[in-house]
Amino acid sequence: MEIKVLGPGCKNCKALEKTVLEAVAELNIDASVEKVEDPGKIVEAGVMMTPGLIINGKIKSTGKVPKKDAVKKMIQEEL
């Protein structure tokens, strides 16, 4: 599973990254979590508002930090 957290490194972007890492650990799954901070790559991925969350190539969230339970559900949908 490939998970990308997109954002320039703001407070919300860091919070989303932390939430994603916690969710992955709690679900005990094998996933690569990548932080994308390059503005060009963020726009290229189709994310116009950060932070963005992409799981297996699908945009799951933009412009907010979803709660851990919501992130876990998004991950489970892609398993």
**Between the CA of residue 37 and those of 51, 54, 70, what are the distances in Å?**
10, 13, 23
How many Cα atoms sit within 13 Å of 65 on the Cβ side?
13
Q: How much is the pLDDT for 38?
A: 97
Of the residues 8, 9, 10, 46, only one is catalytic, namely: 10
1 is catalytic: no
What is the domain extent for residue 27?
2-64
Q: Which of 13, 36, 47, 65 is catalytic?
A: 13
Record the pTM. Answer: 0.96
Name the domain count of the chain. Answer: 1
> Using an 8 Å Cβ cutoff, are 58 and 65 in contact?
no
Each residue's pLDDT tens digit, 25-41: 999 999 999 999 999 99
CATH number at residue 45: 3.40.30.10
DSSP track, 42-55: HHHTT--SSSEEEE
Sequence letter at residue 34: E
Summarised one tens digit per residue, pLDDT across range 35-78 is 999 999 999 999 999 999 999 999 999 999 999 999 999 999 99
Asked if the structure places residue 12 within a domain, the reply is yes
Could you give the 3-state DSSP secondary structure of residue 24?
helix
Q: Is 49 within a domain?
A: yes
pLDDT at 23: 98
Domain presence at residue 42: yes
Is 10 known to be catalytic?
A: yes
